[in-house]
Structure 1
Amino acid sequence: MWFRILVLALGTFAIGTDSFVIAGILPNIAGGLHISLALAGLTVTVFALVYACGAPILATFTGSLERRRLLLASLAILALANILSALATNLPIFMAARVLAAIGASLYTPTATAVVTTLAPEQQRGRALAMVMTGLTASTVLGVPLGVLIGSWLNWQATLMFVALLSVLALVGVLTLFPQVTAPPTVTLGTRIAFLKRPELLLALFQTLLFLSGTQIIATYNRVLLQQVTHLDDLAISLMLLLFGVAGVIGGIVGGYSADRWGNIRTLVGGLLMLVAILFLLPWLASTALGSAFALCVWGIAGWSLLPAQQHRLVAFAPSTAGIILSLNSSAIYLGISSGSGLGSLLIQTSSLSVMCWIAASIEVFALVFILLTSRIGRQAKEQSVIKAA
């Protein structure tokens, strides 16, 4: 079981590298395509928006397909899209290739996370989901810093070819090592949307959106901001991103373990409190390389501990329909990335690092409020069901 889950994590590693490495090579892309930095940043917004909208729609149309075949198709699309991105000579072609990459990613991630819930027993589900999500965090440890270095040493096209290679490796892993997985019963788009009528689920998905929206205001432009504030060279920036990724992997593991051991709400509240504090302090800490390193470590651990705990919590709402709920959560994740990177593209042109960090921290405060609100609604619903049963 765990070996197959590692194969799925390799796929999320490729997707995570594709999603996050663009932020690290934005200045290179902007120069190569002769566009502004803010316009290049909007390609991150478009990728995330297409992913968010495409995930539930594509999940509906591909619901009857055998899961292994769907994983292979999505990874093939991702590889092709990155090759086309590397060959792009202008913004329209590059944007179209990023849309195609988002389609591949939106097919893969919900399918992989849903398959995990069928592989792992309930008492180990949090750790299994955390392992798959660790593919995303591991991409920030290895994929993104290496991609940034490749872009610095060669060019940004070589970085995207590197992402295409990762996608091919994941495809070969699924093709070679994974058995056929029967598709679950087909679910209509209307049925998926109907899940949003449940107030506790809708609020929880909104929390996911807020998690990512707040952090992506800064994360989309982390390389540029680090260079402006600390004046570090490309190698030092890559090492900083490596440190951030290592902390993220630790955070993902801690989040999964904590969700199993102490519960989802405590894990989410603790992670958000740390995240809010470090975002408020980041403008002062970032004035030195040591302070920046400390801030990135805390940010990585706190921020990446949230996703496995949140996924585990969402699956607990309705384990029998985990695939639907996780696909909606994937949409919420990328809506958050889209809104956060879009807001960041506006702020970076007019605001200081301090203003951007305070706005990001304020959004995470709202997320904390919604967690407490959702937890209260959940407790009230349980109390009412107990009263009715009595």
Structure 2
Amino acid sequence: MARPSAPDQGALSADVPDRAASTDAVSPKKAWRGVVMLGFGTFAIGTDEFVLAGVLPEFSQSLDVPVTTAGQVVTVFALTCALMSPTLSTLTAAWPRHGVIKLAFALYLLGIVCTGLAPTFALVLVAQAVAAAGAALYIPAATVTAAALVGPERRGRAIATVTTGLTAATALGAPIGTVVGSALGWRSTMWFITVLTGLSLVGVLTLVPRVTVSAPGGLRQRLAPLGDRRVVAVLATTLVSFTAAYIVYTYMAEVFHGATDGSGTRLAVLMFAFGLTGTVGNFCAGALADRVGARLVVGGAIALLAVSLVVLPLATDSFATAMVIMVVYGIAAWAITAPQQSRLIGLKPESAPLLISLNAAFLYLAIAFSGVIGAVGIGAIGADRISFIGAGVAVLALALSELGHRLTKRQPAAPAEISTN
């Protein structure tokens, strides 16, 4: 899941402006062309996060490290994003957004190129940390720029367009990169991403109009919602539930080695099935949450995730069975995303951008934790059984979700259009 997905990650920015000072001179056609191009940028940048998970065996052999050690490249990338996104966004808050986007692309491209050239695993980790810093800087900047280009009345649609790039990176970019890496070597995947990023950079620089946005508050303001224990409980649900979801995905090349016979193409098909059905699941879960309440949808999705992870070992030797389980697994994992946002926004509607930003940071932390937990699990019980660990973690997430609901009942949320019950 690469970044995960989608709507939640795209709202990484807590900087969404009330208005853009320079959008009056931008025609709607040019504005939306710029928004789409910003979305293409998120596609290019989001592709790197999980693409190496698809070529993990080849990657580990090339650098002469165990698969469990190689998997920490995902951990480093995600942890860097989680820590650097609020920090870099705060440090560059007063900069012109175009300048921030240029710096983000420069960091990302530097990291990707250095990854492709790195002779040792340690240098790969350093290079991926640099690339992650670029991603952490780009996504908030792209989000706030898109929101500023179209104005308040179309802000949600613009942000969704940008975040669709992250969804596409999981459903399409990572599988394509897996096929390229399997056929030509994992370093070729880095050159594929380099070309993709270069094209998006040219497009952003030429098609995205310059806008002026108001500077946001400092880091303390961004972290202020953590003083509300209801918010902490919901964010903890995000952290634990997505840790459960990503334990298998990070190491899926090893988990499904028997089902794919080591074929990169087959693995890419499984990744595509996960991303595509997960995208549908996320959309449907958001609509369902509006009808029956976010709490029930989140609880149901986590329960389905736990069940799918329990039965997943039965699918590790058959490609057809693996396809079925990946569809269920993908729907369950991604269906948590939109309702979790709904719960957070319902708690403090006036702080929605800040809360969504924190939710994205916790999602990145979950990806980082999953890489470590999965590595330990493979060493202890084997790759084909680590889903059992994920199932146990999912049960804990369900308990946290219910705790968040109880805390909300004791201290009712402010009135909002989105149900949180």
Give the alignment's TM-score, normalised by structure 2. 0.82
For the residues of structure 2 that align with 1:303 and 1:357, how far apart are their CA atoms? 13
CA RMSD of aligned residues (A): 2.7
User: Does residue 247 of structure 1 match 2:277?
Assistant: yes
Cα gap change, 1:373 to 1:213, in 2 (>3 Å)? same
Q: Which amino acid aligns with 2:311?
A: L
The correspondence for 2:355, drawn from 302, 316, 325, is: 325
For the residues of structure 2 that align with 1:172 and 1:316, how far apart are their CA atoms? 39
Bigger mean CA deviation after superposition, 75-84 or 2-11: 2-11
Residue of structure 1 in register with 2:172 after alignment: 142
Asked whether the equivalents of residues 377 and 386 of structure 2 are also in contact (C-alpha less than 8 Å), the reply is yes
Local SS of the residue matching 2:336: helix
Residue of structure 2 in register with 1:27 after alignment: 57
| Residues 155-181 of structure 1: per-residue CA shift (max 9 Å, x gap) | 111101111222223323332333334
User: Does residue 9 of structure 1 match 2:39?
Assistant: yes
Residue of structure 1 in register with 2:295 after alignment: 265
Residue of structure 2 in register with 1:282 after alignment: 312
User: Does residue 222 of structure 1 match 2:252?
Assistant: yes
- Cα deviation, residue 19, structure 1: 0.3
Residue of structure 2 in register with 1:210 after alignment: 240
Residue of structure 2 in register with 1:59 after alignment: 89
Asked whether the equivalents of residues 38 and 208 of structure 2 are also in contact (C-alpha less than 8 Å), the reply is no
Asked whether the equivalents of residues 210 and 336 of structure 1 are also in contact (C-alpha less than 8 Å), the reply is yes
Cα gap change, 1:143 to 1:339, in 2 (>3 Å)? same
Cα gap change, 1:135 to 1:263, in 2 (>3 Å)? farther
For the residues of structure 1 that align with 2:262 and 2:58, how far apart are their CA atoms? 17
Residue of structure 2 in register with 1:301 after alignment: 331
- Bigger helix share: 1
Asked whether the equivalents of residues 76 and 168 of structure 1 are also in contact (C-alpha less than 8 Å), the reply is no
Q: Which amino acid aligns with 1:14?
A: A
- Identity across matched positions, percent: 34
For the residues of structure 1 that align with 2:151 and 2:280, how far apart are their CA atoms? 21
Asked whether the equivalents of residues 285 and 335 of structure 2 are also in contact (C-alpha less than 8 Å), the reply is yes
Bigger mean CA deviation after superposition, 56-65 or 337-346: 56-65
For the residues of structure 2 that align with 1:269 and 1:379, how far apart are their CA atoms? 16
The correspondence for 1:37, drawn from 61, 67, 79, is: 67
Q: Which amino acid aligns with 1:107?
A: L
Bigger mean CA deviation after superposition, 186-195 or 102-111: 186-195
Residue of structure 1 in register with 2:128 after alignment: 98
- Cα deviation, residue 277, structure 1: 1.7
* Equivalent runs, 1:182-197 vs 2, <5 Å: 182-197=212-227
For the residues of structure 1 that align with 2:60 and 2:199, how far apart are their CA atoms? 29
Q: Which amino acid aligns with 1:210?
A: V
Cα gap change, 1:60 to 1:250, in 2 (>3 Å)? same
Residue of structure 2 in register with 1:368 after alignment: 398
| Residues 286-342 of structure 1: per-residue CA shift (max 9 Å, x gap) | 332221101111111221222233234434444444443333222211111111111
For the residues of structure 2 that align with 1:120 and 1:364, how far apart are their CA atoms? 39
Cα gap change, 1:297 to 1:316, in 2 (>3 Å)? same
For the residues of structure 1 that align with 2:357 and 2:240, how far apart are their CA atoms? 17
Residue of structure 1 in register with 2:373 after alignment: 343
Which ranges of structure 1 fall in alignment gaps of 5 or more residues? Answer: 386-390
Residue of structure 2 in register with 1:84 after alignment: 114
- Cα deviation, residue 57, structure 1: 1.3
Asked whether the equivalents of residues 146 and 155 of structure 2 are also in contact (C-alpha less than 8 Å), the reply is no
- Cα deviation, residue 3, structure 1: 5.4
Asked whether the equivalents of residues 115 and 127 of structure 2 are also in contact (C-alpha less than 8 Å), the reply is yes
Q: Which amino acid aligns with 2:164?
A: T
Which ranges of structure 2 fall in alignment gaps of 5 or more residues? Answer: 1-30, 416-421
- Cα deviation, residue 88, structure 1: 0.8
- Cα deviation, residue 58, structure 1: 1.2
Local SS of the residue matching 1:382: coil
Cα gap change, 1:316 to 1:62, in 2 (>3 Å)? farther
- Cα deviation, residue 255, structure 1: 3.5
| Residues 199-255 of structure 1: per-residue CA shift (max 9 Å, x gap) | 111122212211221122111110122113553522222222222222122223323
For the residues of structure 1 that align with 2:343 and 2:293, how far apart are their CA atoms? 9
Q: Matched residue pairs, number?
A: 384
Q: Which amino acid aligns with 2:299?
A: V
Residue of structure 2 in register with 1:388 after alignment: none
Bigger mean CA deviation after superposition, 45-54 or 188-197: 188-197
Residue of structure 2 in register with 1:163 after alignment: 193
Local SS of the residue matching 2:65: coil
For the residues of structure 1 that align with 2:143 and 2:290, how far apart are their CA atoms? 17
Q: Which amino acid aligns with 2:100?
A: L
Asked whether the equivalents of residues 26 and 37 of structure 1 are also in contact (C-alpha less than 8 Å), the reply is yes
Q: Which amino acid aligns with 1:241?
A: M
For the residues of structure 2 that align with 1:2 and 1:199, how far apart are their CA atoms? 39
